[in-house]
Amino acid sequence: MMDDFKKVYCRGCWQQMKVPIFIRTPLSVPFRLMGIRPSRMHPNLCTLCESMFTRVKKNKQIDIQATVMFADLRGYTALSEQVGPDGIARLLNAFYDECAPAIWRRDGIINKMIGDAVLSIFNFPIEQHDHVHQAMMAGIEIQRKCAAVQSELRAAAGLDVPVQIGIGIHTGTAAIGEFGTAYKDFTIIGSVVNKAARLQGAAANGEILITEEAYSHIEHMYPHLEPRTYHLKGMEQPVIAYSVPV
């Protein structure tokens, strides 16, 4: 599976700076000596993409238009009590392995793996005019694949019950870059992230919920979805969202 993603140069640096930063083949050796290596967030990006804010853009953070997707294992706490740390570790590894190719295939990056959830970003550093659509297609692939490999996911953790997945997607303006001083972290922040996270918490097993803002970008593909109103934790105003068929 990884062979599908192994390119010679960093696509992010090429798009952002028009500079070929080689991350594979012998051409990558000089860059390795400078400390530039393939990124963990996407195999076709390099670590320079993670630090380009200070080195290239001369800012610690920038504002971007981005689509954020959270994919989450349902009932993580209860599962942890049932199967113990070894079983949970195997389940998370299997879950992450299903999420990563679906996200990378559509030029998203995996920014964080937060316990039972995967936080992915679309439209940076590889820019996409259809980043909402790409995030949605990644979500559909994750749901379909996890449904298809239920026996493998259950076996990984030693579970007799189905492994349940919920996904939330939101799009808008967010701040991305390096945050912190004593401990620096590359991440994305803002209401886009918060709303996507809250929405995945409201999603049912096997469901993909997208906000009204995200739906406006793909409405032509799914013109008959019915809006639903959600009262999400930490959100003063109700949120309109749509359930995308899987």
Instruction: Please report, in tens digits, the pLDDT of each residue of the chain (246 residues total).
Output: 444 556 898 988 888 778 889 999 999 999 999 999 999 899 999 988 877 666 666 677 888 999 999 999 887 777 777 777 888 888 888 899 999 999 999 999 999 888 789 999 999 888 999 999 999 999 999 999 998 988 888 888 788 778 889 999 999 999 988 777 666 678 889 999 999 999 999 999 999 999 999 999 999 999 999 999 999 988 889 999 999 999
Distances (CA, A) of 204 to 6, 85, 110: 35, 25, 22
Domains of the chain: 2-59 (no CATH), 62-244 (3.30.70.1230)
Q: What is the pLDDT of residue 212?
A: 96
pLDDT value at position 103? 96
The separation between the first and the last C-alpha atoms of the chain, rounded to the nearest angstrom, is 23
| Residue among 209, 201, 214, 208 nearest 228 (CA) | 209
Q: What is the pLDDT of residue 3?
A: 46
246 closest CA partner among 217, 198, 204: 204
DSSP 22: B
Q: Phi, psi (5° rounding) for residue 198? A: -65, -35
Q: Record the tokens describing residue 244, joined without a space.
A: 């995308």
pLDDT score at 194: 93
Q: What is the pLDDT at residue 84? A: 77
- Reported residue count of the chain is 246
Sign of torsion over alpha carbons 217, 222, 226, 231: negative
pTM passes above 0.85:
yes
Task: Supply the pLDDT for residue 1.
Answer: 41
> How many angstroms separate the CA atoms of 172 and 201, rounded?
19
